Amino acid sequence: MLEGILFDMDGVLVNNTQAHVRAFAIFCERHGVTGWRDKLATAYGMGNDDIMHRILPPELIREQGMQQLGEEKEAIYRAIYAPEIRPVAGLTELLHALRTRGLRCAVGSSGPKTNVDFVLEACGIADCFDACICGDRVNRCKPDPEIYLKAAAALGLPPSRCLVFEDAPAGIESARRAGAGCVVALATSLDRAALEPCAPDRIIRDFTELTDLETLLSC
C-alpha cells in the first residue's frame, strides 16, 4: 500500500501551461528574443534556469543575470494568471479524500517557491500538504531525481512507498529515477500520445477520472 502522495505543480495542481507560454511571449518580446516557442516545448517540467538557458541568448543572460531574468518572467506569469487560477478538476476532492485516509502529501516542483506559494494560497490548498520541495531548494531540477527524493524524505517515506502525479516527460523521468512506487501522468500540458512513450503507470485527463483510489493506492 502506498503511503505518500507527491504532486508536481505546473500542469498537475493547476493547468497553467498556457499561462506560462503567454508570460514567455511577453517576456521574450520585451527582450527581443525570437524562435523560443519550439525550444520551450521541449523543456516542460524543467527548472527555470534550465529553461532560460535553452531559450535565451547567452549574451542576454550575461548582461542581466539569470536571477533577475527569472524573477521578471515569473512576475509576468503570476500577474496574468492570478485572475483565472483554479485547481485542476477533482484535485480538491482528491486532497480531502487522501487526508481522510491519513495519507501524507507533498509538492515536488521545479518551480520557484514564490510560484508554489502563489498557487497553493490562491487555490486554498496550502493546508493539504505536509511538505513542499521547490526548484530553488535543490541543486538539480528534473529530470534529476533530487526533487522527488527530497519530497519523499520530507514525508519520512522511501520513494517506493509514494505515488507521484506528473504531467511532463522530465518529471516522469525524475520520479522513475527516484524509485517512485507508482507514476500517474496528467494529460494537461501534453496529450496522451506524447506521454505514452514515457511509460507512466496510468494516464488521466484530470483527477475526476480517479474513481478507483483504493486500487491505485494498492500498487
Note whether 54 and 39 are within 8 A (CB): yes
Examine the residue annotation and report whether 50 is marked as an active-site residue of this protein.
Answer: no
For 184, the enclosing helix (H) or strand (E) is strand 182-186
Catalytic option among 10, 50, 136, 167: 10
Q: Return the bridge partners of 186, or none.
A: 204
Q: Look up residue 97 and give its three cell numbers.
A: 479524500
Q: How far apart are CA 10 and CA 110, in angstroms?
A: 9
Which residue from 191, 168, 198, 205 is spatially nearest to 50, judged by alpha carbons? 168
Q: How far apart are CA 159 and CA 153, in angstroms?
A: 8
Q: What one-letter code names the amino acid at 113?
A: K
Sheet of 104-108: strand order equals 131-133, 104-108, 4-7, 162-166, 182-186, 202-204
Note whether 151 and 166 are within 8 A (CB): no
Examine the residue annotation and report whether 117 is marked as an active-site residue of this protein.
Answer: no
Which residue from 206, 205, 202 is spatially nearest to 216, judged by alpha carbons? 202
Catalytic residues: 8, 10
